[in-house]
Every structure is written in C-alpha cells, then in structure tokens.
Structure 1
C-alpha cells in the first residue's frame, strides 16, 4: 500500500481547493437531479410515450435498477484504475442518457436513456474518494461533507426547477437541461480537476459484480413494483426471496475470492457496518418528505387537509430543505473534527426525528411544511456530512471508492424501502371521494411517524459507533493504509 501519489501533492499547491469542491459538488447535484427530473410529468408519461401506465413506470424503475448495479462496480473500478477516469465515464453516461431521453418519443429509447442516467450514480462516491486523494488535509472534512450532502440537495432543488420547465416548455427540455448541466461538469472535471495518479491495479471481480447486480435488481424490483404487482403475488415474492438468496450466495463467494468486488471483512468492521446501517435509516427518512409534502400541497383543499396548490409551489416549498442541507454539511465537518463524526451523525438523527415530529403538528400551510423541510434538511446535512468521515476513517485508502460507493448504495436501498412502505401505507388508508381514491390524512401522519422512528433507530445505532478519535484521525488514515480512524480500534 502507498501514500498519496506525487501528482496529487503537486496539485494541492497548484489548484484551487474551492474550485475542486465546487465542481465535484455540482457533479453530485447534477446526478441527484435525476431522482426528481421526471416527477412533474409522471402522470403524463403514458400519453407522452404512447404506452400504458404500467409500462411507463419503467422510465423510473430503470434508473433505480441501473444505479444499484453501477454504484458498487464504479467504486471498485475507481480504486483499480483511478477515480477521475471513472468520474468522467459516469458523467459521460449521464450526458448520453439525457440526450437519448431528449429525443425520445416512445418508451424504449426513454428506458435506454434512463438506464444510462442511472449508470452515472457513481459520481458522488467517486467524487468523495477523489477529494481524499487531491485536497489538502485541512479542507477534506468540509469538502466531503458538502459532496455527501449533494445527494439530497440536488433532489430538493431539482423538483421546483423541473416543475417550472414542465409547466412552461416542452417536456423534452427537462432532459436537454440535464444534458447541458452534465456536459458543463464533464468539461470542468476534464480541465480543472487534477488526477490522483493511477489506481492500485488488480482485476475486476466479474462473478461478484454479476451476482451482486442480480441480487440488487431482484430485491429492488420486488420493492419498487410490489405495489403494482401485489405484495403477496408470486412475482413479488419470487423477486424478494430470490434476491435475498442470491445475496447470501454472493456474500459466501466474496469471502472466498482473492480480489472481491466488495471486501466484506472491511464492511463488517464495527464502524463501517454501523455507519451503513444508520445510512439505510437516513435514506428511508430523507426520502419520506419527498413522498408526503408534495402530495399534501397539491391535494384539493376540499379534502380538509390538502392545500390545493401547484406542483411548482410544492417544489418551491422543498427548497429550504436543500439549502439548509448544503449549509449545515460544513458545520457537520467542524463538529466532526472537534468531537468526532459519531457526534455529528447523532446530532443529525435527532434533527431529522424532531423535524418529522414537528411535521405531525405543522402541516396546515405551505410555510409550515417549508419550515419542517428546513429542520429535516439540517438533520440530514449533519448526518450525511458525517458519513464519509466515518467510512474513510475505517478503511484503507485502496478501498476508499468501493467503501463510499457501498455506503451510497445502502442509502439508496433505504430510499427505495421508504417509497415502498409509503405506497403501502397510503394505499391502505385511501378513501374514495366521488370516483377518485385519495390518500387519507392519517396515512400521511403514519409515514411522518415512521420516518421519525427511522431517524431514532439511526440515533441508537450511532450510540454504538466507536468513540471519537483525536482530531485529524480521518485525514491521517489517508496516508496510512489499513489504519482504522475515528475511534474504530
């Protein structure tokens, strides 16, 4: 194992750290925009693509599945051949996928484009890992915190922008804007982001990649389509049971191969394992507000709890959450440096739990939901800002990208579970008004309570994380392969 390469050291004196952070964070935001890009036109997709509603849903599901497959593979390849080349490949896929979608008039090209967009999901973990290689030590904590938080920021800011475009322009412009943003980031990375040198080499665990991909596709397909297929139907149960079985076989294989796709022994370290468990809970909690608040804002006022406003208003109401998330991420890094990343994660868990609890009593006006979104965003900013420090402080530098990619993946699994659970709750609590089925107010309250409870579970998990190490442990771990930082001893 080696220390950071000379090219990276030279880059620290010749490049602007602020520009590097801004460019990589913009890349993370541009990729996370994909999660909300099609929300304003979901109801119109069947007509726009000349297909059924069930088939049109694949325009969303395809991105989810592609991201699950690409994230761990891109992380391992980043460690092997270099993070910057894989970052450029990922951004290139996002641009290509967006252009294909922009030209789409039918389902097949749209699904192909959305798959390519999903393949770009490795940008955030690759960016975090690249920061570890090229930034000065004193900048690393706040930079990785901002990059990690960009996963939520893009989603929060993307909804109002997408709604504005969908309301006033042809729907294809959604994808042209995404392509243009991705192209700008690609050029900035190519010209201004330094290389950390070649990766550590090795071979890709193709069998492990295929096995993990198959397991994730089955699991996420069961979760995302369970509502449509029926949770007790053979197709859903087959996907879920088959996915779990494949995951167990994959784990058995990974423990016995020389160069595994995911080093499960490293993943099983107390600090990494507990951080990933907490990440699942935060992924669940963070996504819940995106499922509840826009619906509450848009439901007719005649329901007694809907606010009868537009999709654009719903998107604008979510902006405070994204802005606060971005602002609190650097504060999270400061707290982590002084008290340990464990404390930042626990503060974040308390903030998210409190925000959703506040939402139970503040859901009668748009401004109230904006305030609640801001409180939740502050908690998410603290939590997401702490996760890279916890992960990188417990893994050798040669596994940074793979470990961060796996952490991003488990967050996404939490978000997928949140969507499935929310769908079940709202469907079971729906009431018939005239000939239309409308989610009941009680269903929304149950989701908010579950999200608050998930954050409290993350808090409990955080209690069992190793205690804070001395300041700088994460940074020093970057130069000493295999060192376990942040108190993981």
Structure 2
C-alpha cells in the first residue's frame, strides 16, 4: 500500500486547469444532489404506492428495507473494488444500476418486481465514498475538504428538493409518470459521470479477496436483517436472534480469515490504528443521532398534549417545516466545516460537532415542553451533525493510504448506516416499553429516554476523541496554482 501524504494528490491537481477542477466538482455535486433527491422523493409517495401496487402498510416498509439491505451488502465491496479498478469506473456502473433500478420501480406492474428495482438501487449509498476518493486523489487538502463539505450538503439539499417535488408530482393522475421523475434525473447523472468526471490516480493491489468480500457481505446482510426484525418483533424473538447470532459467527470467522489473507478485503490493522478507529466509532454515533431519530421527533410533535401529556398536535404540513429546522443548519455547517478546520483543525471541528450534538439532545430531553426550546435544540444539534458529516469523511480520507480511500470512506458510510439501524430498532423498543395501553402511544418517559441515549452517545464520542491521532501534513508537496483554491 502506498503511504498517505495528508494533502491528497497535489501533483495530479497541479496539472489541471482551475476551470477543469471546478467543472469536476460541479458534476459530482450534481450526482450527490441526485442521490439526495432519490432519498427524499419516495417517502412522501408511500400512500400512493400502497394504492398503486395494492399492498398493505406493513408491506410498504420493504420498499425501504430492500434498498437498505442491498446498500449494506454492496457499499464495502464496491468501495474496495473502486480502490482496485478505479473509482470512476465503479461509479459509472453503480449509476447505471441505480438508473435501471429506478426504471424498474416506475414500470413495475407488481410490488415484488419493484423490490427488485430497489435492490438495484442499493449501490446509491456508495456514490459518496467513491466521489470522495476521486476528489481526494485529484485535489489538494484544502480544496478536497471544501469539496467534501459541498458534496455532503448537496445530499441534504437534494433530499429537501426531492421531498418538495414529490408533494407536487403526487397530484398527477398517472402514478407511473410520478415514479419516472427520478429516472430523468438519473439519466443526466449517467451523462455526467461518463463525460465530465475524471478517474482517480491511485490503485490498490489488484488481487481480490473473494472469500473476504463474500463474508463481509453475508455479515452485513444478516446483521441488518436481524435489526429489521428487531424493530418489529423485539430482540428476544427467534426471528431476530438467529440472524444476529449468525452475523456474530460470520464476523468472527471473517476476522480470522482477514488476518491471514495475503491481500485482505479490508486491512484490519489499518482501521484499528489510533488515527482511524475513533473516527469510525464517531461515525456510528452520527448514525445514531442523525438517522436513528428521524421518526422520533415527528411522532412527539404530532402528539396531543391534552390526551398524552406531551406534543403540540402538529399536522403533517407543519411537521415538514420543523424537519427543515435541523436540515438547513446541518447543510450550512457541513459547507462551513472546511473553513473552520483551516483555523482550528479537524479534531476541534469534531469536538465542536459532538458538543453541539450533546447540548441539542439534552435540550430535547429537558426542555421539551417549549416549542421554542425544541427548535433551538434542533438548530444546535443540526449544526453539530453537519460539522460531523463534513469532517469525518474528510479526516478518514486524509488518514487512509491513497490506495485505500474508497474502502476507508465506504466503511464510514456503512457504520453510519449501521448506527442508524441499531438505533432505530433500539429506540422502537424503548418507546414500546413506555407505551400507554389506554392510548396505544408511548409516554413522555420513552421519548426522554431516547434523547438521553443520544446525548450519552455524543458523550462517548467526546471521550473517544482524545485517543484520535492525526498524521502531520507533509510540507514537501507541489503547490497548486494560486487561483485554484479561490475558484474551488
């Protein structure tokens, strides 16, 4: 493996005109905007999908589950293949796969066929790791940080645009036309990645650890399946225990194999070093607070205070506006993290992000009787999450060897997703344990417990952070043209 000069690949960057670099980042921003669009577009259409395919409320949950399982299996494998064969090459293949999947969803006469389309959409989650690898390979440290922040912000902005667009298109008479809207966006993505996106410059050992890849895929599939079952039947059910136990067994065998493989699928000695493992722990925590609580706040705010003793009886229209209260601060802070990191360093950015997340979650737990206090807590927490979402992939891509950037950032994405899945299952069980039988809803104590767990997770991240050791940036690098940093 090649050593990692913490400043990215300045030699490659210095040979490109500034306009070309700006164009590269611009097209990648469009790809991530499209990724966010797809993630935000489908959720508001679930009611229409139930009617379109004549399915039940329980069955529609598989629309999300199928894509999540496919993403959990494909992200580590595809990000590693990007390190071996080229990140642009794999990005092209995955964009085509997602486009085919979205087309299949739109044109499917039956729900099972639509689920096959959602499985083909699973590689959507690997776009960001592949793009980060391309950016880190082609740009300097400062430029790549700015680009990563903008990529993360583009996902959030795309999700907002997708959700709003679904609100307008859902009124169309032909539901197939409604579902074809994302296909148009994806066709533009195919043009972008084939015409305007360059290839990364580093390659890993071309030998493929087939058994290692297979073991990792089976582990992720079993674990995510078990967590999905836990969210419905609890952790004590046989349907939950069997896949989770199976996942543990597969993981132990996989670790044994990887430690003996000549060229392992994932270099365990790399990710267990002090410069990376704390970042991965914090990545899991980000998933807990950012993904695991997505429905918690909505059900709390929708609660009738006269009947349940909490909530604000908010209709769906107001709930969508409240969700933007945390989304936009996160988007802004993810863009701004590079400037903050330039002055304070990445570790202090993580410190600020975790502290803001802790304060926001504590605010939700303690001041939940005031809507104003909740909004302030959401803004503070959103700012913290945005800093973490920008800084973590930047730090990981800088600390990993250049020929392992794809798999290093792919693991970040997988752990973030896993954190959300674990939290979603655990939080569902917490609320169920606090349920009020006469109302069929959780009591205030359940929600407070969830927010305290999130605050405690941030506290764990703060305790882990001091163990993170960064490489010192090398000073003997070829400098970029002076106007390049300004344009990017």
TM-score by length of structure 2 reads 0.87
Q: Does the CA contact (< 8 Å) of 1:349 and 1:456 recur in 2?
A: yes
Q: Name the residue aligned to 2:485.
A: none
More deviation in 316-325 or 156-165?
Answer: 156-165
Shift of 1:197: 4.8
Change (3 A) 1:355 1:400: same
Q: Does the CA contact (< 8 Å) of 1:63 and 1:115 recur in 2?
A: yes
Q: Does the CA contact (< 8 Å) of 2:304 and 2:313 recur in 1?
A: yes
Q: Name the residue aligned to 2:446.
A: 443
**Greater RCO between the two (CA within 8 Å, min separation 6)?**
2
Shift of 1:222: 0.7
Please list the CA deviations of residues 393-428 of structure 1 after superposition, one character each: whole Å capped at 9, or x if unmatched: 322101111111011111110011111112112222
Q: Does the CA contact (< 8 Å) of 2:204 and 2:404 recur in 1?
A: no
Shift of 1:14: 5.3
1:283 match: secondary structure: helix
More deviation in 249-258 or 37-46?
Answer: 37-46
Q: Name the residue aligned to 2:399.
A: 394
In the aligned structure 1, how far is the partner of 2:114 from the partner of 2:49? 10
More deviation in 84-93 or 226-235?
Answer: 226-235
In the aligned structure 2, how far is the partner of 1:6 from the partner of 1:379? 30
Q: Name the residue aligned to 2:465.
A: 462
1:393 match: secondary structure: helix
Change (3 A) 1:88 1:475: farther
1:271 match: secondary structure: coil
In the aligned structure 1, how far is the partner of 2:220 from the partner of 2:436? 34
Change (3 A) 1:380 1:22: farther
Q: Does the CA contact (< 8 Å) of 2:360 and 2:378 recur in 1?
A: yes
More deviation in 142-151 or 223-232?
Answer: 142-151
Q: Name the residue aligned to 1:424.
A: 429
Shift of 1:200: 4.2
Give the gaps of 5 or more residues in structure 2. 481-488
Structure 2 residue aligned with 1:341, among 333, 346, 355? 346
Q: Name the residue aligned to 1:380.
A: 385
Structure 1 residue aligned with 2:142, among 135, 138, 142? 138
User: Are residue 79 (structure 1) and residue 79 (structure 2) matched?
Assistant: no
Please list the CA deviations of residues 16-65 of structure 1 after superposition, one character each: whole Å capped at 9, or x if unmatched: 44443343233234324444444334466544433344433221111111
Structure 2 residue aligned with 1:293, among 284, 294, 297? 297
CA RMSD for the aligned pairs?
Answer: 3.1
Change (3 A) 1:441 1:477: farther
Q: What count of residue pairs does the alignment treat as equivalent? A: 475
Give the gaps of 5 or more residues in structure 1. 480-489
Q: Name the residue aligned to 2:263.
A: 259
Where do residues 2-401 of structure 1 align in structure 2 (5 Å cutoff)?
8-9=12-13, 12-13=16-17, 15-42=19-46, 45-148=49-152, 150=154, 154-155=158-159, 158-166=162-170, 172=176, 175-197=179-201, 199-200=203-204, 202-300=206-304, 302-303=306-307, 304-363=309-368, 369-401=374-406
In the aligned structure 1, how far is the partner of 2:332 from the partner of 2:268? 34
Change (3 A) 1:29 1:91: same
2:265 match: secondary structure: coil
Change (3 A) 1:10 1:195: farther
Change (3 A) 1:250 1:15: farther
In the aligned structure 1, how far is the partner of 2:58 from the partner of 2:261? 40
